[in-house]
Amino acid sequence: QAFSYFEHSLQLRKETLSDDNVLIAWAYFNSASVLTKMKETEKSIQYYEEAIRRFLRINEIGICVPAYICIAEAYLDLNDCTKATNALEQAFTYEYEYYGEENCRKYWLYDIKSKILEKQGKNDEAAEYRAGLKKNIRNIFKVAKHNFHVSI
């Protein structure tokens, strides 16, 4: 039933807003999230892809990163490591393009990459990505702690 509300919201937005309105792209993204929770994996991928198409059309590439990560996770659920890797590569590309090396949220990317590698039986490589994930998270906390102390 939750999906029907999201679908109705999407239809209302499509009827009342211009086709390039960011709210329509968000409606596709949110609907895809609900479909993922409902285990409607193939349909969720279609909705994420439509959200990405719309976000790119209006030059909102930053939000494409979580959408591609969600697609990668969906393909992992379908045991398709090739398509999961392709989606993750797109996420990496947009993350670096949008945020740059200094501000890149690598923890998202490393987490999914380690899961893909585990599913492929490449446990040593997966462990390396998990180590990178832990290091990246520690660095985030160090910066946050420093910024907190500087601001008081």
Range 79-108 average pLDDT: 85
Q: Which DSSP helix (H) or strand (E) runs through 36? A: helix 22-37
Residue 103 has pLDDT above 80, yes or no: no
Map tokens 């985030």 to a residue.
140
Across the chain, mean pLDDT equals 86
Rounded to an integer, what distance in angstroms lies between the CA atom of residue 38 and that of residue 7? 14
pTM, two decimal places:
0.79
* 106/129 Cα distance (integer angstroms): 10
Looking at residues 36-63, what average pLDDT do you find?
A: 93
Q: Of the ranges 18-27, 82-91, 101-110, which one carries the lowest mean pLDDT score?
A: 101-110
pLDDT tens digits, 21-44: 999 999 999 999 999 999 999 999
Percent of the chain exceeding pLDDT 70 equals: 85
Residue for token pair 């990560």: 69
Question: Which of 27-36, 95-104, 140-149: highest mean pLDDT?
Answer: 27-36
E strands, 17-148, are: none
Q: Which residue reads 């009342």 in tokens?
A: 16
